[in-house]
Structure 1
Amino acid sequence: MNRFVLALAATAIGVTGAITAAPVLFAQSAPQVPGAKDPSRVTAGTYAADPAHSLIGWEVNHFGFNDYYGIFGDVAGTLVLDPANPGAAKVDVTIPVASVTTASKGLTEHLLRAGKDGGAPDFFGPAPAPARFVSTAVTVDSKDATKATITGNLTLNGVTKPVTFEAEFTGAGVNPMNKKETVGFEAETEIKRSDFGVNYGIPFVSDEVELDISVAFEKQ
């Protein structure tokens, strides 16, 4: 075999080897997300809500045609959690109603405007007090330890009523930006806004309001 043939063979082997090795190299360097739905990652302690990455979405029906959505942001609060006794967890969350936002500038302003001629506002008014949820009981699902029913008291528009959330653990790990242990949860419930004195537009805008919560808690 002459040198030219030997050189071609060597080149082919080198290229083949590089192609074979490339996936291994990429697999080894592939980035990994810091959080995972793994309860063993959770450690006991007091956690505080990360307001930049926590929000509450709300949904109402408009005129019987379709559903409309809005968001409360800047959620604050604490979670006291012990993975060895999750049923003893305590949640205390505050929602600044004044931070409400929608896809319509006019509607957002309507939610927060003062009542006409000194009357009561249609919805929350220009300086609404924050809403607050304080848990009274946590019941972990007997078949799925990542799910729980959280019962507590919701104070909204100056009225306090019992509310039950269906909650789910969504992830835990270390936040690579601030190096804090972080746990995430999502929860949902349905309330009647008339129970809290927010009656404007019923039934054209539904009394029933669906709430979807997504909160990241950072260990303190």
Structure 2
Amino acid sequence: MLKSLLLLLALLPAPALAAAWKLDPATRVTTDVTWEGRIVEVRFPTLSGSIDFDQAHPERARASISVAAGDATTGVAVVDSLLRSRDYLGAAQYPTITFQLDKLTQTSKSTAEVSGRMTLRGVTRPVTFHAQVFAYGPAKDDPDRFEAGFDLSGAVDRTAFGSTGGVPDVASVLPVRIRLLMTSR
């Protein structure tokens, strides 16, 4: 599907190759934490980043996406305070969590493996996410704007980054989801 889309899109107005893209405000980063027998979704609403993506050579993609650890939220104030504390995210000392994309490897027409490095609590470790294309082409609301969207999913062992609060009652391996929507003109 991705290669077919790329061929079709070559006929449409598209961004310059190797263009710097911008994160769309619809981009979301979340994880689930099991707490007291319930699954609690943690959202990171404040994010920023840069993306260099060449639609003719997706394997050359590079990106850096950061979220504000101090803005992590579940919607429950007491849980939010605990989450941001020294034993979990350590938001006061380590205000950002960053993912650096190093390699994108296409695995099917609409999927890829995304490898890179995550920095959490001042510790950097390699991580890999599975990516699924959900949007690729001119935006419906503005045909002069090109958009690409990917759902990334994977897991991160938070204890490898020094986040040991609540273990073993709070899982050490957490699922991570990134709904990445980027645009270019």
Tell me the TM-score normalized by structure 2.
0.83
1:60 to 33, 43, 52: 33
Describe the shift of the 1:101–1:179 C-alpha distance in structure 2 as closer, same or farther (beyond 3 A): farther
Q: Give the superposition deviation at 1:68.
A: 2.0
2:109 is matched with which residue? 145
State how far apart, in whole Å, the 2-side matches of 1:138 and 1:82 are: 12
Confirm whether residue 216 of structure 1 aligns to residue 170 of structure 2: no
Root-mean-square deviation (Å): 2.3
**Partners of 2:95 and 2:35 in 1: how far apart?**
25
90-99 vs 147-156, which deviates more?
Answer: 90-99
Structure 2 residue 88 is the aligned partner of structure 1 residue 112: no
* Structure 1: 5+ residue stretches without partners: 1-36, 114-120
Distance in 1, matches of 2:180 and 2:130, equals: 14
Please list the CA deviations of residues 15-60 of structure 1 after superposition, one character each: whole Å capped at 9, or x if unmatched: xxxxxxxxxxxxxxxxxxxxxx95444643221212x211111012
**Distance change >3 Å, CA 72–CA 153, structure 1 → 2:** same
The one of 5, 20, 29 aligned to 1:46? 20
| C-alpha deviation, 1:175, in angstroms | 6.1
Separation in 2, partners of 1:90, 1:169: 17
Give runs of aligned pairs for residues 166-185 of structure 1, distance below 5 A.
166-172=130-136, 173-174=138-139, 176=141, 180-185=145-150
Counterpart-to-counterpart distance in 1, 2:38 and 2:5: 37
Question: Structure 1 residue runs of 4+, over 6 Å off?
Answer: none
Q: Is the 8 A contact 1:95 1:130 kept in 2?
A: yes
Choose from 125, 141, 154 the match for 2:118: 154
Q: Find the aligned partners of 1:129 and 1:177 in 2 and give their Cα distance.
A: 35
- Offset of 1:83 from its aligned partner? 2.2
Structure 1-normalised TM-score? 0.71
The aligned residue for residue 171 of structure 2 is 206
Distance 1:177 1:196 in 2: 42
User: Aligned-pair distance for 1:206?
Assistant: 0.5
> How much does 1:125 deviate?
3.8
**Post-superposition shift, 1:169?**
1.6
For the pair shown, the structure with the greater C-alpha radius of gyration is: 1
Percent sequence identity is 21
Name the structure where strand makes up a greater proportion of residues: 2
Q: 2:91 and 2:181 mapped to 1: Cα distance?
A: 28
Letter in 1 for 2:89: F
Q: Which has the higher helix share?
A: 1
Partner of 1:124: 89
